[in-house]
Amino acid sequence: MSDFTSSFWSWYVSILTIVSVLACAFLLYRMGRMRVAKAPQAADGKTATTGHVWDEDLAEYNNPLPRWWMWLFYITIVFACIYLALYPGLGKFPGLLGWTSAGAYQDDVRATQATVAPMYAKYLTMDIPAVAADPAAHATGERLFLTYCAQCHGSDAGGSKGFPNLRDSDWLYGGDPATIKASITNGRNGIMPAFGPALGDEKIRQVVNYVRTLSGLPADSLLAQLGRPVFMENCAACHGADGKGNQAVGAPNLTDSIWLYGSTIPTLIETVTKGRGEAGTLTRMPAHKDLLDDGKIQLLAAYVWGLSHTAAAPPPPAPAKP
């Protein structure tokens, strides 16, 4: 509750909480002292009731709550007061213990890291291909991948629209171990700028048709011919004059059959017009250096590198004998 934008809401929550606790205590006190007039004693000697009857024979007895039950209610009220004094629950008041959920999480993370650090430490002394070939490291890396990477790249690392396939040999920034580790550690922020305002609809159609010819896709030959100088002037700086891309800036190869968003004419027009990777889109690779320690990053990098180097991947475990 420490992120209130106005002190009014902090006071509102605090006062409402305190009044609610006091109201419960007052209600319990009053109910313990009030007595309802008893109904006349029945001739057959049955216990008197309050006189309230439902469904002809469902009567309400005029018995007070047991004392032990009332004291349990009082104990819960006292417990609530102690809790609100020690822990955050009254607006911006942090509590006397200074406890926070974020702090508790960080304590758990530090405790876990201290426990598992020795397990990861040995892999930091090995190069990534050697780690990738270790069956235990591969299994641990796979679990890390499913936890931190599968949301974007898929549980099979096959990627999806806007997220690269990590199982093939096509890499935006490079597939060597050091580059993969750098991508995981620092993230990637490659951006395809929007050319809509600069080129206009006609030139965009021309360059899109030219781009399709680079990978052998059907295209309008006249538009493609007109699109070549447009490409050289606006696109070659990143993708290269031959369209084979540039891993230094993450510009993809346009001459193969691998497309991050799709190769249809409408999709390519959208890409050139609006760009990709602008603020607010889901195409940026986040940095994991503040989330994962060096050992986990080493295992993740080895697992990802091994996906496209099947010879380095450990063999599957032998089936158990019946």
- Domains 111-188+285-312 and 196-274 belong to one CATH topology: yes
pLDDT of 20 > 50? The answer is yes
State residue 276 phi and psi, 5-degree precision. -140, 145
Q: How far apart are the first and last CA of the chain?
A: 57
Q: What is the pTM of this model?
A: 0.68
pLDDT digits (tens, 9 = 90+) for 83-135: 999 999 898 889 999 999 889 988 998 888 888 888 888 899 999 999 999 99
In the structure, how many helices (H) and strands (E) does the chain have? Answer: 12, 2
Out of 3.30.420.40, 1.20.140.150, 1.10.760.10, 3.10.20.310, the CATH code matching 196-274 is 1.10.760.10
Q: Tell me the domain boundaries of the chain.
A: 7-86, 111-188+285-312, 196-274
Q: Which residue has the higher pLDDT, 76 or 35?
A: 76
By C-alpha distance, which of 285, 273, 256 is closest to 185?
A: 285
Which CA distances in Å does 183 have to 38, 134, 167, 179, 290?
Answer: 80, 22, 16, 6, 13
pLDDT of 139 > 90? The answer is yes
Determine the 3-state secondary structure of 160 from DSSP: strand
Note the CATH number of domain 111-188+285-312: 1.10.760.10
Determine the 3-state secondary structure of 112 from DSSP: helix
Instruction: Tell me the mean pLDDT in the region 251-265.
Output: 94
pLDDT digits (tens, 9 = 90+) for 22-73: 999 998 888 777 665 554 555 555 666 777 888 887 887 766 677 888 899 9
In DSSP notation, 161-192 reads: TTB--SSSS--SS--SHHHHHHHHHH-B---B
